[in-house]
Amino acid sequence: MSALIELGEQIRHCQKCELARYRNRAVPGEGSENADIMFIGEAPGWHEDQQGRPFVGPAGKFLEELLSLIDMKRQQVYIANVIKCRPQGNRDPLPHEILTCRLWLERQIEIINPQIIVTLGRYSMALFFPQKSIGKIHGTAEKRDGVIYYAMYHPAAALHQQSLRETIKADMLRIPQIIAQLKNTPEADKEPEIRQLNMFEV
């Protein structure tokens, strides 16, 4: 059994907060264990709670559409959430819930070791871009300790605000530029530990 599968089993049986009392299924995450790109959303919704899989509702369909724009499928990336159980009534996750689940997320990141972490929505963004506004930093990235962190709106935002749909698509289409830069930067190890990337003009 791989470390990631074993971790998933631990998450499915987690009782560390009261969300465990109300869930149908915990949602550890899914995708390639060797993924170069890891997408991190907010929390499971109703569909995810029923199936135990991330992004399988309407927002998930849009995410798959977004991935197709860059010629990728969900099996090629890893998809997870900040918290692993659905908050009752789809409410926002609470600070102590995020803190409790962060240990699971950090372990997933450690095992997968992605080159790019894409934050989807403000709760995911806040873990990696503290004190920032999603409206101001979406479509921008920072490199820290060899990992690119890239901020995007949550796909669900487009379902509630159609005007964001094209913005989210444009942000997704910048990801191949990031990948290209990673592959074409032999001096990457000599770059500053944290650097704002400046290749986002399309």
pLDDT digits 0-9 by tens, 147-175:
999 999 999 999 989 999 999 999 999 99
Q: How far is CA 69 from CA 29, 66, 90, in A?
A: 22, 5, 29
In a domain, 75, yes or no: yes
The pLDDT value given to residue 185? 52
Distance, in Å, from the CA atom of 142 to the CA atom of 202, rounded to the nearest integer, reads 18
In a domain, 137, yes or no: yes
In a domain, 201, yes or no: no
Give the pLDDT mean for 128-140.
Answer: 94
pTM (two decimals): 0.89
Q: Note down the domain range covering 11.
A: 3-196
In a domain, 202, yes or no: no
**∠ CA 127-183-80 to the nearest 5 degrees?**
30
Distance, in Å, from the CA atom of 49 to the CA atom of 51, rounded to the nearest integer, reads 6
In a domain, 143, yes or no: yes
Give the pLDDT mean for 184-196.
Answer: 44
Q: How far is CA 96 from CA 23, 82, 99, 101, in A?
A: 17, 12, 5, 9
Mean pLDDT estimate for the chain: 90
SS3 (DSSP) at 79 = strand
For 110, the token pair is 């450690």
Q: Name the DSSP class of 20.
A: H
pLDDT of 10 over the 50 cut: yes
The pLDDT value given to residue 30? 97
The pLDDT value given to residue 181? 84
The pLDDT > 90 percentage for the chain reads: 83
The pLDDT value given to residue 50? 97
Query: What is the bridge-based pairing of β-strands 78-81 and 30-31?
Result: antiparallel
The pLDDT value given to residue 170? 97
The pLDDT value given to residue 180? 86
The total number of structural domains that make up the chain:
1
CATH of the domain at 76: 3.40.470.10
pLDDT of 29 over the 60 cut: yes
Distance, in Å, from the CA atom of 98 to the CA atom of 61, rounded to the nearest integer, reads 25
